[in-house]
Structure 1
Amino acid sequence: MQPHVDTIHLGTLPLSQGGVLEDAKLVYATWGRLNSAGTNVVLLPTYYTGTHDSYRPWIGSHSALDPDRWFIISPNLFGNGLSSSPSHAQTPAQRAGFPLVSIRDNIDAQHRLLTEHLGVKSVALAMGWSLGAVQSMHWAAAYPAFIRTVFSICGTASCWPLNRAFLASVRAALAADPAWMDGAYAHDAPPTRGLKAFGRVYCPWAYSSTFFRQALYRTLGFDSIEALLLAWEEEHLAWDACDLMAMLKTWEHADIGSLAGQSASKALANIRAKTIIMPGSCDAYFTAEEARIEGALIPNAEVRVLDSPFGHCAGAPGRFEEETRTIAMTAHALLAMA
């Protein structure tokens, strides 16, 4: 089934970290139809370097996320090139000056989309991978009566110190390119060397030591580590550098304790939804250890580790058959509770 893709215009959006996002627009996709009660909703916030299209492998008549039964909504993260992003700016200076849009800003805009525009009364399941998982957790803490179940895959509610150090390393790789110019480069002169370095530095963090030691990159069609690294270079060359940096800022400032000025422990304790947290066993930056710490603070949470050699990428939608099957079965079980 093809999604319905649309845009909601939000006007001038005040931001939680100060400033405003002018002429804010939120691009979203939907599959299926909303029921008369406004309650058959599955929410899929997008992840870093992802769009609503990235979730297609999870959606279908033979999936837990069946659009014949569920109204599936995937709002695009600010900065991802579809919703308001630096790449939409008219001048290099405007692009470089794109403000920090927090996770809270994203979910508040998404809440307006769901309640004011689409007529949603409650969400059966908020679910996502990576930065989509982060948003799902924030949704449940910020709007506890609105979210009935949560499925967090390879993500945590806050950006922990190791995660921030990882993000600092990929930022430094991009910013080391003189063409970066603090984001004020011309559209026709992007920092290509920096983008390639960004992808090359990112890649090893995304998998695991087992993945490289056992040469599992061959299962992905690469005959060497260098071939894999080159593919990551090419993938990131397709992205606008300022968009990558804007989403990175959103990610590194993720702090569930910032909701209403609470501590992280209090914010997590506010979550009423039945929650399954599924960290990857070998995830290098959204670690299983830190997922367990957060899970212990949520009243109705269960931590189920996704045993996989594929690191953070284990939870990527549709990428690995066994892992995708486990995710689908878990989503099905949560929806049965909703």
Structure 2
Amino acid sequence: MKYEIFNAGRVALQSGITLPDCCVAYVTHGRLNAAKDNVVVFPSRYAGTHADQTYLIGPGKALDPEKYFIICINMLGSGLSSSPSNTARPLSGPDFPLVTQYDNVVLQERLLREVFGVTQIKLVCGWSMGGQQAFQWASLFPDRVAAMACFCGQGTTTPHTHVFLEGVKQGIITDPDWRGGYYETPPYKGLMAKGRIWAGWALSQEWYRAKMWEKQGFATLEDYLKGNWDGIYFNRDANDMLSLIATWQACDLANNQLYNGDANAAYAAIKARAIILPGRTDLYFPVADNAAEVAMMPNAEVRVIDSIWGHYAGGGRVAEDTAVIDAALKDLLA
């Protein structure tokens, strides 16, 4: 799918490092109306791009291009926007600086304002790390975001999720071909290990007990791991994947000059009507963690996706799960 590039120029990141030629890749669906009040922001997820987001976009769906101007924005580190794999030395590869979700959303706000003249957002929504960005939008710009939804994601990364991501990271960097990130050929063993680690976290215990891999056409569990997971990251750059992990681990809604570490203030600032949609069996973002966030928000509710598909309940894998998300988005847009 063809995409556009917003050239942001020199961008100072929260880390204190400046990206000299920062670029943000995006696509749009639908048309911006004359009042510029039909805008939906839909940021990308971990290891994904705008191309993965069409499951919620289309005629008759909540994100209907006949009604709304939907902009799907790729995070820094995604491989399309500025990333370790496409940034010039000396900031390429493992020398690419830490990017926070605050950095991403501040850039996205510039894109909307400078390219389209948009300042008001009807809805911001996202899955996983896309949901992190939805939280950031609603907290940083509370008077400009009317509604927000986060499905299978959180506003602040918990210690447990941080530790899970440490395991994923180690899967890559312990490959001898990793070479500190200055690899000459991709660290395929590390990327394969990353896939196998992810396989145990992305889907739930219930999913595995039900032997759902058989319904995916795999003869055995090992057949499923080899056929679905071993090569799933071979077309992704390892440094890009690690950059996104660093962004995920650093996600903290209150870590900015507006809130100075005050989580209660950061969540309480969200004026948008919000629906937070955890998956009942999501191992990354448990229901209890989202409930604790919603308790700090003045106009929010939790709607649990009752699914055995773990984290993937938010990603368009199962029609019934996607229908729950679509219904919530329709409620927010009503």
Superposed pair shares fold, TM > 0.5 = yes
Q: What do the CA deviations read for 1:105-130 (whole angstroms, capped 9, x no partner)?
A: 00000000011111113111101100
Where in structure 2 are there 5+ consecutive unaligned residues?
none
Identify which of 320, 325, 333 aligns with 2:331.
333
- Number of the residue aligned with 1:323: 321
Query: C-alpha displacement at 1:93, in angstroms?
Result: 7.4
Q: For 1:299 and 1:41, how far apart are their aligned partners in 2? A: 23
8 Å contact 1:37–1:121 — kept in the other structure? no
Query: C-alpha displacement at 1:4, in angstroms?
Result: 6.5
Q: For 2:23 and 2:245, how far apart are their aligned partners in 1? A: 19
Q: CA RMSD in A?
A: 1.3
- Number of the residue aligned with 2:199: 203
Q: Which structure is higher in helix share?
A: 1
Q: For 2:110 and 2:91, how far apart are their aligned partners in 1? A: 30
Q: For 1:334 and 1:4, how far apart are their aligned partners in 2? A: 29
8 Å contact 2:178–2:187 — kept in the other structure? yes
- Aligned to 1:242, the other structure's residue is in SS state helix
Identify which of 110, 113, 118 aligns with 2:111.
113
8 Å contact 2:91–2:97 — kept in the other structure? no
Q: What do the CA deviations read for 1:126-151 (whole angstroms, capped 9, x no partner)?
A: 01100000100111000101110011
- Number of the residue aligned with 2:276: 277
- Aligned to 2:25, the other structure's residue is in SS state strand
Q: Give 1:120-199 correspondences, 5 Å limit.
A: 120-186=118-184, 189-199=185-195
Change in CA separation of 1:92 and 1:228 when aligned onto 2, cut-off 3 Å: farther
- Aligned to 1:292, the other structure's residue is in SS state helix
Query: C-alpha displacement at 1:204, in angstroms?
Result: 1.0
Calculate the TM-score normalised by the size of structure 2: 0.96
Q: What do the CA deviations read for 1:62-94 (whole angstroms, capped 9, x no partner)?
A: 211110110000110001110011111456973
Identify which of 42, 51, 55 aligns with 1:44.
42
Matched, 1:57 2:45: no
For residue 99 of structure 2, what is the amino acid of its counterpart?
V
Matched, 1:21 2:16: no
- Number of the residue aligned with 1:312: 311
8 Å contact 2:171–2:193 — kept in the other structure? yes
- Number of the residue aligned with 2:243: 246
8 Å contact 2:77–2:243 — kept in the other structure? yes
8 Å contact 2:173–2:180 — kept in the other structure? yes
Q: For 2:57 and 2:78, how far apart are their aligned partners in 1? A: 21
Q: Identity rate of aligned residues, in percent?
A: 39
- Matched residue count: 331
- Aligned to 1:67, the other structure's residue is in SS state coil
Q: For 1:228 and 1:140, how far apart are their aligned partners in 2? A: 39
For residue 119 of structure 2, what is the amino acid of its counterpart?
K
Where in structure 1 are there 5+ consecutive unaligned residues?
none
Query: C-alpha displacement at 1:237, in angstroms?
Result: 1.1
- Aligned to 2:245, the other structure's residue is in SS state helix
